[in-house]
Amino acid sequence: MAGRAESLRLAILLPITSRTSDFSKPSQSPGVLERIIAGLQTLAASLHGSSSSSSSPATTVLLGIDSDDALLLDNQQQLLDAFAPAAGSSTAAAAAAAEVHVLMFSEEQRAGYGPGAVCKLWNIMAAAAVEKYQCDLVVLLGDDTAVEPPGWTELVRAAFTAQPQLLLLLLLLLLLLLLLLLLLCDLLQVMILRSILSTRQAW
């Protein structure tokens, strides 16, 4: 079962922005880059608790950046470095906690959406995670999210692989409930028709 859990690839989707009123003037928001990196480091720390024995990471992190966000574009390496293992860490699991990639959002992709509307961007990232990076599961997060406990990605994978027979049983149960609901609807319809006919005969 552990092997199956490790075979599931998990994507963490993080659309981030410097939130400046003018992307070409990042100096308008002093300290923004530091806050974003600190948030990414907090999230990265939770990934380093993984106990995966796989030689390659089973987690992909996608950082979504606006194509005209000068502050983040000029500091992409710092964003990627936020996911590097903590200084002094020598565990293979920490070193291979996640693959991190930057995904650019074009003006066309962002057309009609304000800075707070990230649902479309998450959809774009989810499509890339599945189609380009061959991920099986996706998690939608923000750049200031803290997740516990450390190694939580393994718990997510395990939840989707544990007891597949139970999942099948639940699916069959839902199907049975649906059939019963349809049967009840048919019976109710027959009762209503009989009531209408009885009323007409009484008249």
Decide: 13 and 66 in contact? Cβ < 8 Å. Answer: no
Question: What pLDDT score does 112 carry?
Answer: 63
| 87 three-class SS | coil
The pair phi, psi for residue 13, each rounded to 5°, is -100, 120
Tell me how far CA of residue 198 lies from CA of 185, 187, 188, 189, 201, in angstroms. Answer: 20, 16, 15, 14, 5
Structural domain boundaries of the chain?
Answer: 10-150, 163-202
Give 84's pLDDT tier (boundaries 50, 70, 90).
confident
Q: Which residue has the higher pLDDT, 67 or 113?
A: 67
CA distance 47 to 24: 33
pLDDT, greater one: 164 or 169: 169
